[in-house]
Amino acid sequence: MKVLVTGGAGYIGSVVAEELLQAGHAVVVIDNLSRGHRQAVPLDAELAVGDLADRALLDRLLRERSIDAVIHFAAFIEAGESMKAPETFFRNNTANALTLLEAMLASGVKRIVFSSTAALYGDPEHTPIEEDDPLRPANAYGESKLLVERMLAWFHRIHGLRYASLRYFNAAGASRPDRGEAHQPETHLIPRILAVVLGRAAQVNIFGTDYPTADGTCVRDYIHVSDLAHAHLLALDALAGLREKGLPEEGLRKKGLREDSPPLIYNLGNGQGFSVREVVEVARQVTGHPIPAIECPRRPGDPAVLIASSQKIRRELGWQPRFPELKTIVESAWEWHRTHAEGYANPATDASRRK
């Protein structure tokens, strides 16, 4: 299959691009490199540097490269930032997704896997969270993604678009020692903790110690980026089987899916929660560093607890996490950060990279 990966120079997108190539698919990445890294794009993928707001570029790529399916990552992801400048999230995440969907419609590309988020659920009434639980985002980032899910549902209903929406809980870790998380700015907990070990910050800030949780800090469900990536390939296969393999019944009935089955909406997490303090403690064990932490006020828009039920994707697509342990996740992240303190900015260490 020929797959257009939007945001394929980013943290999760680049891992998925690599997994697609390994599975024998052809990959075209579109990324404006505002957050992503040219060097993160696998050498065997084609890289088109451009913006999703550029409809003409999208039309050209979809048609000239004969794209069969799209995996859409390109988005802003900093929940805290979205509470300061929501307009940039609605522009970049929501409006640009509409441009992409319009271009797909015009080019007859009928399949998309969408990178969605646990932030759709806001403050859940119970955990673990299931896919049909109420969607009430607590931050503008979550809302910007929910609006895309709503558009997808209407495009499905009216235009027959087939889609999978994967609601990620907290993506973390590294798929290889030379491919990891390198956000700018970095707002995520694990890289910020490891920055302390690398001497780039004096201490880690714990945002909020008065949440209704066992130790007062927020609880999250951390999932290894490789496990997350694998789910995209399963979802893509399921979408392809639904339409084109000519034997939808055979392959998909086994998985409990039908040709006319509803969109594939799945949570992705490990089903286990760790508090901010617990994550800091695991990082201390992994790195052997004391990692000083200070207590700070809450970060606006943070729900207290987000833990996934991923039973649905396990049941329907046979997904299983290979690296469910937080320690393994932090170890892989540490391996990447320890050897790439500058992220992708030091080509000397990775001679085979795209320049």
Radius of gyration of the chain from Cα atoms? 20
Query: Interface with ligand UDP by CB under 6 A: which range of 93-101, 107-115, 124-132, 188-196?
Result: 188-196
Query: Interface with ligand UDP by CB under 6 A: which range of 57-65, 176-184, 199-207, 232-240?
Result: 199-207
Our answer to whether residue 11 is catalytic in this structure is no
Among 38, 91, 192, 289, binds ligand UDP (CB under 6 A): 192
Query: Interface with ligand UDP by CB under 6 A: which range of 60-68, 126-134, 204-212, 322-330?
Result: 204-212
Which residues are CB-contacts of 235 (< 8 A; sequence separation ≥ 6)? 113, 164, 166, 264, 266, 317
**Residue (248 or 273) nearer to ligand UDP, CB:** 273
CA–CA gap between residue 270 and residue 327 (Å, rounded): 13
Residue type, 104: M
- What pairing do the DSSP bridges indicate for beta strands 162-168 and 46-49? unpaired
Tell me if 193 sits within 8 A of 279, measured CB to CB. Answer: yes
187 binds ligand UDP (CB under 6 A): yes
82 binds ligand UDP (CB under 6 A): no
Tell me if 318 sits within 8 A of 180, measured CB to CB. Answer: no
- Residue in the block written with tokens 């709503």: 150
> Would you give the binding string for ligand UDP spanning residues 130-149, x where CB under 6 A is met?
--------------------
Q: Which two tokens stand for residue 120?
A: 């759709």
Q: Pseudo-torsion of CA 224, 129, 296, 285, nearest 10°?
A: -40
The residue annotated as part of the active site, out of 141, 163, 168, 344, is 141
Q: Where are the alpha helices (DSSP H) in the chain?
A: 11-22, 55-64, 79-82, 86-89, 96-107, 140-159, 189-197, 225-243, 248-254, 276-287, 311-317, 326-339
State the nearest-atom distance from the C-beta of 327 to ligand UDP, in Å: 17
> Would you give the binding string for ligand UDP spanning residues 2-41, x where CB under 6 A is met?
----------------------------------------
State the nearest-atom distance from the C-beta of 192 to ligand UDP, in Å: 4
Q: Which two tokens stand for residue 289?
A: 């560093």
302 binds ligand UDP (CB under 6 A): yes
DSSP 8-class letter at 181: -
State the nearest-atom distance from the C-beta of 288 to ligand UDP, in Å: 21
Question: Interface residues with ligand UDP (CB under 6 A)?
Answer: 79, 170, 187-189, 192, 204-207, 218, 220, 276, 299, 302
Catalytic residues: 141
